[in-house]
Chains A and B, each alone.
Chain A
Amino acid sequence: MDQRNQTGGSTTSFHQVLIIIFGSLFFAGGGNDPLAERVQDAVPDNDRGAKAVAEAAAIDEARGQDVTAVIAWHEEFFKVIGQPDAGETVVRAKIDEVIDQLEALERHQLSLRSDLRGHLEPSEWSEIFD
C-alpha cells in the first residue's frame, strides 16, 4: 500500500481520491521498509538470493511508478469531466478507462509477485511478509 500520506504528515492530495475510492491496491505491504531490504535480510548470500533481491527491488520501483501513474490518471480524469460539455456519458467512459488501467496495473503487480515467489523458499517468504 502507498503510505506516503500516512507517514509524511503532509496535507491531502486531491488526486488521492481516485487511489482510495477506486481501490487501487498497490500490493506488497508488510511495512514501510523497502521490500528489497527485507528480502536481503531473509535470503542467503548466493545467486538465488541476489535474484530475489533484484525482483524485490523491481516491485519497490513499480510501486512508486504506479502511484505516480494513478495520480496522473486522476488529473486527466478531472480535466476531462471538468469540461463545460461533459455529461454522464463522458464520466462513465472515462471511469471505464481508469478501471481498465487499474486492472492492468494490478496484473503487473501480481506478475512481479510471482517472479519474486519463484526465488524464495516458503520459510523465507513468511519471514518477509509475516
Chain B
Amino acid sequence: MTPPRTSSELSGAPAPSPARPRRWLLHTAVVGGLIALACSSHKTRTLEDVALESSDRFSSVLQGVVGDPDRAAAVGAVFATYQAEQQRFAADMADLKATALASYQAYDTTDEDFDALEEQLRSRREAFRDDIAGGIADLLAVLEPGEWTETVGLMLEEEARWKEANQ
C-alpha cells in the first residue's frame, strides 16, 4: 500500500525544501512586524521617526536571517553602530531641512543663498555616504555569503506588500 500523497504531490508543486519552513517563519515575522508597526502608527510621528523604525525592521529581519544567536548578536552590534550613525545624521539633516524650508518660504532669499544651502547639503550627504558605505562593508564582513542578499530581498518584498496595501 502506498502512503497517502501530500498536498504538494497532489497539486504537482515541488516538495518544500528544508530551507522553506525557515523562510516561511521569516515571512511570518516580517508580516507580524508590519502589522505591529501599523498598529503603533501615530499621526504625530515625524518622517525621521518613520525612517528609524524602518531601520529597526531591517535590523530584526537581518538577525532573523542569521539565525544563530551568537552570530545574530554580533551582527546586531555592528548594525547598532550603523544605526547610531543614521540617527546622528537624521538629526543633523532635520536642522538643515528646517533652514531650507524657511529659506524657500522667505520672499527675499537669493539664488546665492540657495547655492550655499545646496553646497551644505552635498557636503553632509557625502559625509554620510562615507559612513553608510563603511557601515555596510562592516556588516558584510560579519555575514555569511547570501545572508545580506536574503535580508535585502525580504525587505524589498515587505516594501512591495506596503505599496500594495497603500494603493
Q: With A27-B101, A103-B122 in contact, do A88 and B51 touch (Cβ < 8 Å)?
A: no
For A84, the chain B residues whose CB sits under 8 A away are 145-146, 148-149
Number of chain A residues close to chain B: CB under 8 A: 52
| A88→B45 contact, CB < 8 A | no
Q: Which of the residues A9, A13, A75, A113 comes within 8 Å of B42, measured between beta carbons?
A: A9
Q: How many Å from the CB of B40 to the closest CB on chain A?
A: 9
Contacts of A96 in B (CB 8 A): 129
Chain A facing B: main interface SS: helix
Please state if A126 and B162 are interface contacts (CB–CB under 8 Å).
Answer: no
Contact: B101 with A14, CB < 8 Å? no
Once bound together, how far apart are the Cα atoms of A16 and B158, in whole Å?
13
A1 near B107: Cβ-Cβ < 8 Å = no
**How far does the alpha carbon of A129 sit from the alpha carbon of B155 in the complex, in Å?**
38
Tell me if A23 and B50 are in contact (CB < 8 A): no
The CA-CA distance from A32 to B55 in the complex, in Å, is 26
Residues of A within 8 A of B118 (CB): 103, 106-107
- Determine whether B46 belongs to the interface, using a CB cutoff of 8 Å to chain A: yes
* Contact among A29, A110, A126 with B114 in the assembled complex (CB-CB below 8 Å): A110
Residue B13 is within 8 A (CB to CB) of chain A in the complex: no
Chain A residues positioned under 8 Å from B54 (CB to CB):
12-14, 16-17
